[in-house]
Amino acid sequence: MDLSAINPIVLFASLMVASTPILLAALGELVVEKTGVLNLGVEGMMITGAICGFAVAIETGSPALGFLGGALGGAVLSLIFAFLTQVLLSNQVATGLALTLFGLGLSALIGQGYIGQRPPSSGDLVLGLDLMVFLGIGLVALIWWALRATRLGLILRAVGENHDAAHALGYKVVRIRIAAIAFGGACAGLGGAYLSLIRVPQWTEGMTAGAGWIALALVVFASWKPWRVLLGAYLFGGITVLQLNLQAAGVKIPVEYLSMSRYLITILVLVLISVDRTRATLNAPAMLGRKFHASS
Amino acid sequence: MTGTLIKIDGLTKAYPGVIANDNVSFQIDAGEVHALLGENGAGKSTLVKMIYGLVKPDAGQMQLRGKPYAPAEPRAARAAGVAMVFQHFSLFEALTVAENIALGMENPPPMRQLSDRITTVSQDYGLPLDPHRTVGDLSAGERQRVEIIRCLLQDPKLLIMDEPTSVLTPQEVDILFATLRLLRDQGTSILYISHKLEEIRALCDTATILRGGQNVGTCDPRQTAARDMAEMMVGSRLHVPEKVSHATDQVALTVNRLTSRAVSPFGTRLRDVSFQLWQGEILGIGGVAGNGQDELLAAMSGEMQVNPDAIRLGNRPIGHLGPNKRRRLGLLAAPEERLGHAAAPDMTLTENALLSGKVRKALEENGFLNWNKARRFADQIIDRFDVRTPNAANAARSLSGGNLQKFVIGREILQNPLVLVVNQPTWGVDAQAAAAIRQALLDLAAEGAAVIVISQDLDELMEITDRFAALNEGRLSAPRPTADLDVEQIGLMLGGAHGMEVAHAPEESTAAQ
């Protein structure tokens, strides 16, 4: 066993790469949940973004357009959810689960012709890191600032806190929520495209492998706070990369235990952070998952 | 002070199956406090929602200072100088006072400036308020101040107030009235919605009375007797329950040093609550909402279990027992929230009757439900308590608030409780249904049961209870005979040791911790 083969700087750079997909998806879901909507379709939107981004990048030869395509794909898929839950008032949990199943199937269909291809290279920038990694961190700061200090953020929080009151004050609850859902879809799509274009990089069916679910869990355990989402994503990405390195270094622990450790440790740490139950309840959007109908 | 501010002409609004407003016309002068009186369901709320732009009228026009006025949305109404203080649903508990106020303004200044303005305006009008506190931690009176200041910052010409005093202590009502008179003297018109006649007589210059969606008359409340106005509202003579005390010296229930946790993040835990309840007695527990009422009900019903000896039914310790075991022993409860707590909204009345009556009415045999018996029980409740519904197969949600309340109270009374605990038995119920419910509680006590009525309606407590105790920040005062108390003394009891400090800002922080 040779632990000295693990270079901390390279390790950190690769953990940032490994955590960017779930970071992007979780940030989008955070905004959606802040407006009081629970979209369980993150996994489906991510994988749809992965294949849309991949296909666009192959067809145009431009990774930038590929990312745009991934975001658009995720957003369009999320609008199906938005229409069903916000206009037709369907159950958010069931609709979100259906969206994941639909996204997995749809991506497999679109992806038929793309198996085995290599996407165009997006070119390295700093320390082997690409622009999207920094975009992800920038997005954390932007969402944190917007929710905290801007009027838009205040309105988003207000809608998630009490939709009847927001309606009574004349805010367009449904429109605001649809916009937030589309934003969440775009973020998830972007995260998926990052997987297929940079992290892996190729297309395989079901390649998100539960990343969307991790993103969902991250939002809850991070108590709907952007910086904690970043922390959780890095923790998850870090352990993912570390366990790969440990496997390569030949540590005598069965691979299965190493693979599962990232899920266990991430959840354990976030549970410990959010252990103060009353404060966690205060952070949770009070209207999360509830239907809004402007009848009275 | 002269001239017409707003003229309402023939407003009509129909919903499927009901005409909420039928050709309503009246006008409000500048600098006038105008009362809008009516029972629940008389169409008051729909009418003011039309004025505030939340609901579009089917027919009719409005004129504001001589110009046509048809707000498409609340934003337009606010721009025209119309502001509204809602009865419910318009504050965000997890946000701060300043954030709540910013949400109600068109172009709010930066937060720091806004906080300063809130402090200034709140001092000017005698409504002290700290802009940085979270609304969920405020008392009902303080929450209302948030709404009023939100309106005042827009410099309104017409201020609409929807049942503003229903959650206030008498002292807080006095403070509110002083503020409203100050506003009137500055030329602001106020449309004041209420069904409390004495308040309207004390405050308002003119009153318009609605009944069944129609304007049934305008009067000067200072010249008209409360009884006459009540009869215009109801359209018939009112039956006032008769109070005769049946209290005995047999102990029905003893609560000894009951301490509990809070049921919600913004709830109040009970601290050392002790009292004794006699058979045949009605004990009233007053207090402003959020001072431990929900916790007291949960502890009594068994939803929240406590130390066994904290609650004794007769001589038996029952603090550790769950709701069904307590029901079997004869301690029943009817919580405040009708839809979702006292009744399951989407289940039928029969199913709802079964849910609570299962134990005492033996509606379950060897694990099987006896639906025929359950249906008969539901029919019996509907019949005895005059619940207006086609039949017991209707969903609880389809009943009006008053009818459902009669059903949930009746359901407990017909199970012959030894002790019945009710929270807000007549909240949001019209006067006739309220009188029927109060009479039923009196009849129950006359038969020897002990009743605890938790309520924020002081008139109700004065009318039917034998003894009165006040709940304040989770502490219960010693019960005193109601007959010896007047409204002023009750108000002081409700304020607890803190007395009148609602009127003074610096002590505020100690009052609400």
pLDDT recorded at residue B430: 72
Contacts of B74 in chain A (CB under 8 A): 168-170
ipTM value:
0.81
Q: Is A266 helix (H, G, I), strand (E, B) or coil?
A: helix
pLDDT, one tens digit per residue, over B19-41 is: 888 888 988 998 899 998 887 66
B93 CB near a chain A CB, below 8 Å? yes
A155 CB near a chain B CB, below 8 Å? yes
Q: Is B281 helix (H, G, I), strand (E, B) or coil?
A: coil
CA-nearest residue of chain B to A155? Answer: B103
CA-nearest residue of chain B to A157? Answer: B95
pLDDT recorded at residue B283: 94
- Segment A40-50 shows an average pLDDT of 96
- Segment A236-248 shows an average pLDDT of 86
B241 CB near a chain A CB, below 8 Å? no
Determine what percent of chain A is predicted with pLDDT higher than 90. 55
Verify whether the Cβ–Cβ distance A281 to B265 is below 8 Å.
yes
**A·B CB contacts under 8 A:** 55
Tell me which residue of B284, B359, B281 sits closest to B325, measured CA to CA.
B359
pLDDT, one tens digit per residue, over A10-42 is: 888 888 889 999 999 999 999 999 999 999 999
Question: How close B289 comes to chain A (CA, Å)?
Answer: 19
pLDDT recorded at residue B504: 39
Give the residue, A187 or B214, on which the prediction is more confident: A187
Which CATH number among 3.30.70.120, 3.40.50.300, 3.40.50.1820, 3.40.390.10 corresponds to the domain B251-338+418-512?
3.40.50.300
Interface with A, mutate which of B18, B103, B133, B400 (most A CBs under 10 A): B103
Which CATH number among 3.30.470.20, 3.20.20.210, 3.30.420.40, 3.40.50.300 corresponds to the domain B4-234?
3.40.50.300
pLDDT, one tens digit per residue, over B455-490 is: 887 888 888 999 999 988 888 988 988 888 887 787
Q: Which of B89, B99, B108 sits opposite A168 (nearest CB)?
A: B89
- On the CB side of B442, CA atoms within 13 Å amount to 19
Question: How close A269 comes to chain B (CA, Å)?
Answer: 24
Verify whether the Cβ–Cβ distance A165 to B94 is below 8 Å.
no
Distances (CA, A) of A67 to A190, A194, B87, B433: 6, 7, 49, 63
pLDDT recorded at residue A31: 96
pLDDT, one tens digit per residue, over B211-259 is: 888 888 888 888 888 778 877 877 766 666 667 777 788 889 999 998 8
Contacts of B265 in chain A (CB under 8 A): 278, 281-282
Give the residue, B371 or A258, on which the prediction is more confident: B371
pLDDT recorded at residue B150: 86
Q: Give the tokens for residue B501.
A: 């400090």
pLDDT recorded at residue A203: 93
Q: Is B154 helix (H, G, I), strand (E, B) or coil?
A: coil
- Name the band, by pLDDT with cuts 50, 70 and 90, for residue A225: very high
B79 CB near a chain A CB, below 8 Å? no
Domain boundaries, chain B: 4-234, 251-338+418-512
Q: Give the tokens for residue B487.
A: 């409204």
Q: Taking a contact as any Cβ pair under 8 Å apart, which residues of chain A between 202 and 231 contact chain B?
A: none
Cα separation, B495 vs B484, in Å, equals: 18
pLDDT recorded at residue A279: 59
Q: How many Cβ atoms from other residues are within 10 Å of residue A252's Cβ?
A: 5
Contacts of B99 in chain A (CB under 8 A): 154, 158
CATH code at A3-283: 1.10.3470
pLDDT recorded at residue A252: 82
Contacts of A293 in chain B (CB under 8 A): none
- Segment A113-125 shows an average pLDDT of 79
- Segment A77-83 shows an average pLDDT of 96
The residues of chain B scoring below 70 in pLDDT are: 1-2, 40-41, 87-89, 166-167, 236-242, 428, 496-513
Tell me which residue of A112, A111, A135 sits closest to A122, measured CA to CA.
A135
